[in-house]
Amino acid sequence: MNTRAQIRMLPDGRRLHMHDGPIDLIVQAFGAAAEIEVAYRAAAERFVSVLDELCGELAFLRSPTREDGPLPVGPIARRMAAAVQPYASTTFITPMAAVAGAVAEEILQAMTTLAVLSRAYVNDGGDIALHFTPGKRFVVGMMEYFKPEPTALPQRVTPHELPNTPVFLCDPRGSRSLSASDEPSPDAYQPQKTTLFGTTTIEFANPIRGIATSGWRGRSFSLGIADAVTVLADTAAMADAAATIIANAVDLPGHPSVERVPACELAPDSDLGERLVTQSVGELTREEIIEALAAGISVAQSLQAAGLIRSAALNLHGETRVAGAISAARANSARERDLLHA
């Protein structure tokens, strides 16, 4: 029995919170009460071995993926490997780029295999796997930052929900700072520091079943300068890998306002080794912002053309660019912002 794992219902009595080491999941299932119970039990049973499984082949999962390289053993590790495989021939990537999305998918599958649910999601620190049936939908909100937060301590961000429609705040810092004791309350959410830069609705007819967000302020290191890149893709692991790749591409190589540090100096066992990761982004001109976003959009469009993502929203210093159908969303609408903060 894994005694580290912490599994409990959040105070709202509806969402399940599961935590083990660096993994922090918020899970919600919708449907008949008995089915929800079956689903949560299945989620918890699957969850307790996840971290040990991944750590069992951590060295391999941290090593660069080669096009025809060997495959890992565990089912989650295989999801990770499959999601990063399309990038292996052209760039440096390790299976860890898809770990959060892959864990979310695995837990969601454990739930939907055993229970009949109208809708469900598994949110792994902002990387989200979705399940729904015809007629059901999810609303997704994307976050940006107005001012850099130099603090090393995690900030508190509480998912904000509208009745009957989960609204995910796709936050590159993740939702892991949400502790089980936090009551979701509007006070916990800090509009002076964060704001939504757009919302989008995902319906059953969309092939989208995964959402991920990446950026240099996030929990994982980024090689780029994007504040937040939110990706919608067919699976959560695909979205996770793609968000990493696109966020890396939003960049101004060699720019003096960008502070970069070798990853291994910050975390000696980082899979990024000596690669320079972004630690802060200073003042940029409007032209520079547009240039960096354009570099990201060009990568996003090629991933979209290759069928690796459905759409992406890129945010840097308050500017937003979108690729794909997400443009149908009311990105950067001031009215929407007021509505959701109200």
With CB under 8 A as the rule, give the number of residues binding another protein. Answer: 27
We find the least distance from the C-beta atom of residue 317 to another protein, in angstroms, to be 23
Q: Per-residue x/- mask for another protein, residues 204 to 233, rule CB under 8 A?
A: ---------------x--------------
287, 262 contact by CB (below 8 A):
no
What's 254-307 look like in SS3? CCCCEEEEEHHHHCCCCCCCCCEEEEEECCCCHHHHHHHHHHHHHHHHHHHHCC
Q: Which is nearer to another protein, 23 or 303 (CB)?
A: 23
Where b means 16+ CB within 10 Å and e means fewer, 236-261 reads bbbbbbbbbbbbbbbbbeeeeebebe
Rounded Cα gap, residues 189 and 249, in angstroms:
29
We find the least distance from the C-beta atom of residue 182 to another protein, in angstroms, to be 9
Rounded Cα gap, residues 119 and 243, in angstroms:
24
Among 31, 49, 57, 58, binds another protein (CB under 8 A): 58
Among 25, 38, 51, 300, binds another protein (CB under 8 A): 51
Question: Among residue numbers 9 through 48, which ones bind another protein (CB under 8 A)?
Answer: 20-22
Q: Which is nearer to another protein, 119 or 260 (CB)?
A: 260
Among 13, 134, 147, 152, binds another protein (CB under 8 A): 152
Q: Which is nearer to another protein, 51 or 142 (CB)?
A: 51
Question: Among residue numbers 264 through 303, which ones bind another protein (CB under 8 A)?
Answer: 265-269
Q: Which is nearer to another protein, 97 or 299 (CB)?
A: 97
Rounded Cα gap, residues 46 and 111, in angstroms:
9
Alpha helices in the chain (DSSP H): 33-47, 50-56, 58-61, 75-84, 99-114, 236-249, 263-266, 286-305, 334-341
Question: Among residue numbers 161 through 180, which ones bind another protein (CB under 8 A)?
Answer: 176-177, 179-180
Rounded Cα gap, residues 207 and 57, in angstroms:
31
Rounded Cα gap, residues 308 and 300, in angstroms:
9
Stretch of 68-76, 152-160, 194-202, 234-242 contacting another protein, by CB under 8 A: 152-160
Among 1, 33, 205, 334, binds another protein (CB under 8 A): 1
Q: Which is nearer to another protein, 154 or 253 (CB)?
A: 154
Rounded Cα gap, residues 211 and 9, in angstroms:
23
Name the amino acid, one letter, at 187.
D
Question: Among residue numbers 80 through 139, which ones bind another protein (CB under 8 A)?
Answer: none
In sequence order, the 6+-apart residues with CB closer than 8 A to the CB of 287 are none
Q: Which is nearer to another protein, 5 or 326 (CB)?
A: 5
We find the least distance from the C-beta atom of residue 92 to another protein, in angstroms, to be 19
- Residue ranges that bind another protein, judged by CB under 8 A: 1, 3-4, 6, 20-22, 51-52, 55, 58, 151-155, 176-177, 179-181, 219, 265-269
